[in-house]
Structure 1
Amino acid sequence: MTPSRTAVSPVRIAVIQFDPQVGLEKCGSNLERSLTLARRAISAGANLIVLPELSNTGYTFLTRAEAFAHAETLADSRSVKAWQDLASEHGIYLAAGFAERDGMKLYDSAVLLGPDGRLGHYRKAHLWDQEKLWFTPGDLGFPVFETPIGRIGLLICWDIWFPEVPRLLAAQGADIICSLNNWVWTPPPLFDAAGRCMASYLTMTAAHVNNVHIAAANRIGQERGGRFLGCSLIAGTHGWPIGEVASAEDECVLYADVDLTAARSAPIWNSLNDLQRDRRTDLYDATLGYRLHAPMPR
């Protein structure tokens, strides 16, 4: 296949839900499975692919030393190189989660890769449960990356519970947020009658109130006594899922065909209301006091 480096509209988004397992002996097979599923998505026409959080290592570390042993530096990561080679070979964009080592610090990180190299890098800002024992909270803020297919933001798992995160990404001009997750089982009730978990609704709500697409990839399976929720989805600017919400159990690839830049004209709901115009920036700052990255025009 000859890579395309021109803008593509609509974009075919693919969200990959699978079961990476922790253990140094399993990292290679985790990576290979992610590449196999990504190639399946490419064969189906996908040009923006989202993998889960920590998709090369699994999630449930027992000690910081174990987490450190699984981690890779951004510059020398075998996994990032393999994902980058795939993106370059096929002319696609790919977001993937990995455990990042930077000196003695560890980060729960994500990379955004494109045909011409690494476009962006994000470190999880809000850490869940024992992640606080292994990882350092992210220090890169909430950047949005300009690409030929649209503006792309990244968040990781627990971040979606903090409405500031998708709001800041949208306020900076993101057309889509790639949400990389390891949503875990918590005390019940976990699912409603439609089989959706609370994280599904948080994703839909964030897409709706920010008029932004969100592609949420979660993992499935069990690991060291813990379980994962599945329920991956792609939400449109209206908040509703585009296509199905994945089950809690099955490996799958979800697809949606979207003109990402349509997010910029989506906020007008009627002749009197517009989400961007209606914000009371006389009472609060347009970017909630965030100063790390300048907003792009919408």
Structure 2
Amino acid sequence: MAAKHEEKLMIACLQFEPRFGEVADNRARSIAMIEQAADAGARIVILPELVISGYMFQSRAEAFALAEPIPDGPSTIAWAEVAARRKLFLVAGIAEREGDRLYNSAVVIGPDGVLGVYRKLHLWADENLWFEAGNLGLPVFSTPHGRIGVAICYDGWFPEVFRLAAVEGADLVCVPTNWVPIPGQVEGRGPMANILHMAAAHSNSMVIACADRVGTERGQPFVGHSLIVGHTGWPVAGPASGDSEEIVLAEVDLSAARRARNWNSFNHPLRDRRTDIYAERLGAKPSDRRP
């Protein structure tokens, strides 16, 4: 009898509206939404960027006061408790404090605790005033469900991020984000961010799950439209609304994404790269996480 390769996995993106500076309230409401997603069968849950603090800092001192250490900060501890109790994996955006340095980070947590941290590589606008650029590269985390990479918001405008995650073996890239309106957006069309992540999913044959926030914070609107994109490049859930909190759920097969990279008898988007013309890793350092 042929081996069965198919494994269905429920992923949830939590479209959430943080209340700036209300750390305890944001933490409690995020956990309530995680519980709802778990009740719906989610095994991997993604929360937005900077979900505990909010986004629109007015000084570095304010950002520093709202940041937390990882893994010993109260939000990571609380998220780890719910991940253990509900036996799920979480990817959650947080302002990380390490000594005197701040990072726009995402913590990756499983039932057995913290797997690691991703620090945003490409800082947007005033983030450059508060945060250091990420210094941990593009780690890929092994789980029983598949290998998970992470990107945050503006990272999604760089195709190298998704290609390198694919080269490192990622089946799924989780994207905590705070998308804002950008120049060139056309009225009546969905956000350019949706199109970019659909293209990245297709060209790398991977699943990409984007959890955005909604609302207006200190005059800055956020666009919502969270979505989960299958390995073919088409949404399998969402886009969500542009203005409401909601849970975007999809059942995916991560092993199918890996098998589908063989597009035909000749072509495979990773093997077909012309590394005699451009560097195999686009200048990135090799990782010992590569399978």
Mapping of residues 99-178 of structure 1, within 5 Å:
99-178=95-174
Q: Select the residue among 279, 286, 294 that pairs with 2:280.
A: 286
Instruction: Read off the aligned partner of 2:74 and give its amino acid letter.
Output: R
Q: What secondary structure is seen at the aligned counterpart in 1 of 2:164?
A: helix
Structure 1 counterpart of 2:37: 41
Q: Deviations over 1:139-191 (max 9, x none)?
A: 00001011111000011000000111111001111000000100112346355
Q: How far apart, in 2, do the equivalents of 1:157 and 1:184 lie?
A: 9
> How much does 1:285 deviate?
2.6
Q: How far apart, in 2, do the equivalents of 1:153 and 1:261 lie?
A: 15
Q: Select the residue among 265, 270, 293 that pairs with 2:264.
A: 270
Instruction: Read off the aligned partner of 1:94 and give its amino acid letter.
Output: L
Structure 1 counterpart of 2:230: 236
Q: How far apart, in 1, do the equivalents of 2:185 and 2:114 lie?
A: 40
Q: How far apart, in 2, do the equivalents of 1:129 and 1:227 lie?
A: 15
2:214 equivalent to 1:220: yes
Structure 2 counterpart of 1:16: 14
Structure 1 counterpart of 2:57: 61
Contact 1:112–1:120 under 8 Å retained in 2: yes
Structure 1 counterpart of 2:182: 186
Paired positions, count: 286
User: Pairwise CA RMSD of aligned residues?
Assistant: 1.5
Q: How far apart, in 2, do the equivalents of 1:65 and 1:209 lie?
A: 41
Q: How far apart, in 1, do the equivalents of 2:182 and 2:68 lie?
A: 29
Q: How far apart, in 1, do the equivalents of 2:99 and 2:33 lie?
A: 32
Structure 1 counterpart of 2:243: 249
Contact 1:127–1:137 under 8 Å retained in 2: yes
Structure 1 counterpart of 2:3: none
Q: TM-score, normalised by structure 1?
A: 0.92
Query: Which is further off, 285-294 or 161-170?
Result: 285-294
Mapping of residues 201-216 of structure 1, within 5 Å:
201-216=195-210
Q: How far apart, in 2, do the equivalents of 1:37 and 1:165 lie?
A: 29
Instruction: Read off the aligned partner of 1:265 and give its amino acid letter.
Output: R
Contact 2:139–2:289 under 8 Å retained in 1: no
Instruction: Read off the aligned partner of 2:132 and give its amino acid letter.
Output: T
Structure 2 counterpart of 1:76: 72
Q: What secondary structure is seen at the aligned counterpart in 2 of 1:242?
A: strand
Instruction: Read off the aligned partner of 1:272 and give its amino acid letter.
Output: F
- Compared CA separation, residues 142 and 191, structure 1 to 2 (3 A): farther
Structure 2 counterpart of 1:5: none
Q: Deviations over 1:89-130 (max 9, x none)?
A: 011001001101111110001011001111121111110000
Q: How far apart, in 1, do the equivalents of 2:32 and 2:147 lie?
A: 26
2:28 equivalent to 1:29: no
Query: Which is further off, 73-82 or 92-101?
Result: 73-82
Gaps of 5+ in 2: 1-5
Contact 2:118–2:138 under 8 Å retained in 1: yes
Instruction: Read off the aligned partner of 1:276 and give its amino acid letter.
Output: L
Q: TM-score, normalised by structure 2?
A: 0.95
Q: What secondary structure is seen at the aligned counterpart in 1 of 2:38?
A: helix
Q: How far apart, in 1, do the equivalents of 2:187 and 2:92 lie?
A: 26
Contact 1:171–1:295 under 8 Å retained in 2: no
Q: What secondary structure is seen at the aligned counterpart in 2 of 1:95?
A: strand
Instruction: Read off the aligned partner of 1:13 and give its amino acid letter.
Output: I
Contact 2:185–2:192 under 8 Å retained in 1: no
Q: Select the residue among 196, 199, 206 that pairs with 2:193.
A: 199
> How much does 1:275 deviate?
1.2
Gaps of 5+ in 1: 1-7
Contact 1:214–1:235 under 8 Å retained in 2: yes
